[in-house]
């Protein structure tokens, strides 16, 4: 499957090995770390290499169980958009974007495209995402993309020794 999309000022594409340095650079931002639950505080080259190798492998699968795509601005990876789990008719959405790119409309476009592509080509009916309750920017991205809040998952994530609440959003065909 062709996992490429050209948006307004950005491209979504499969990762390549040459993305490691820009991936590390942008993922190391404290604002990215504070708003995500799936990455370590200090991203090493080894971690980034394994992550990107898994992403490359997943994008080659006919029926992937996860899918991680690069968000590219001017030839540099500034984020990613992913399905962390693809199970039958449903998928868990996650994403991050360098704060330098915030407010440019990239994530709503990317989210809409990935959801539409998954529903049209992968048989996905339900896409869900968890967002820390304090992450209002991410909540707005999902709302713009047509997601609705299904509820609050209290004390669902342990981050830096603290239990955090997250809102569960879903988009259903």
Position 122 scores a pLDDT of 94
Instruction: Give domain status of residue 59, yes or no.
Output: yes
Q: Using alpha carbons only, what angle is made at residue 19 by residues 107 and 21, rounded to the nearest 5 degrees?
A: 105
Asked if pLDDT for residue 82 goes beyond 90, the answer is yes
Asked if pLDDT for residue 1 goes beyond 90, the answer is no
Instruction: For residue 102, give its domain range.
Output: 5-124
Rounded to an integer, the average pLDDT of 50-56 is 96
Rounded to an integer, the average pLDDT of 103-114 is 96
Mean pLDDT of the chain: 96
What are 120's two structure tokens?
């049209």
Position 38 scores a pLDDT of 87
Position 64 scores a pLDDT of 92
Question: Quick one: angle between helices 136-144 and 106-121, nearest 10?
Answer: 50
Asked if pLDDT for residue 2 goes beyond 90, the answer is no
The count of structural domains within the chain is: 1
Instruction: Give domain status of residue 53, yes or no.
Output: yes
| pLDDT tens for each residue of 4-31 | 999 999 999 999 999 999 999 999 999 9
Instruction: Give domain status of residue 57, yes or no.
Output: yes
Instruction: Give domain status of residue 85, yes or no.
Output: yes
Q: Compare 168 and 37 and report the one with higher pLDDT.
A: 168
Please state, in angstroms and rounded to a whole number, the distance separating the CA atoms of residues 119 and 172.
9
- Burial of residue 77 (CB within 10 Å: 0-12, 13-18, 19+) is buried
Instruction: Give domain status of residue 25, yes or no.
Output: yes
Instruction: Give domain status of residue 164, yes or no.
Output: no
Whether 102 and 137 have beta carbons less than 8 Å apart is answered as yes
| pLDDT tens for each residue of 63-79 | 999 999 999 999 999 99
Instruction: Give domain status of residue 139, yes or no.
Output: no
Position 25 scores a pLDDT of 94
Look at residues 142, 151, 135 and name the one whose alpha carbon lies nearest to residue 171: 142
Instruction: Give domain status of residue 83, yes or no.
Output: yes
User: Looking at residue 33, which CATH number applies to its domain?
Assistant: 3.40.630.30
What is the band of 102 on the pLDDT scale with cuts at 50, 70, 90?
A: very high
């Amino acid at each position: 499957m062709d996992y490429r999309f050209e948006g307004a000022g950005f491209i979504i594409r499969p990762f390549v090995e040459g993305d490691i340095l820009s991936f590390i650079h942008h993922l190391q931002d404290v604002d990215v770390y504070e708003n995500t639950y799936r990455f370590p505080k200090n991203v090493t080259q080894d971690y980034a290499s394994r992550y990107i190798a898994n992403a490359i492998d997943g994008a080659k699968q006919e029926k992937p169980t996860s899918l991680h795509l690069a968000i590219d601005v001017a030839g540099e990876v500034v984020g990613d958009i992913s399905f962390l789990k693809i199970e039958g008719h449903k998928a868990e959405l996650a994403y991050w974007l360098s704060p330098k790119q915030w407010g440019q409309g990239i994530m709503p476009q990317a989210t809409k495209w990935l959801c539409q592509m998954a529903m049209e080509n992968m048989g996905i009916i339900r896409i869900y995402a968890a967002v820390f309750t304090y992450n209002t920017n991410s909540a707005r991205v999902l709302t713009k993309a047509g997601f609705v809040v299904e509820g609050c998952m209290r004390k669902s994530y342990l981050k830096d020794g603290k239990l955090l609440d997250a809102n569960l959003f879903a988009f259903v065909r």
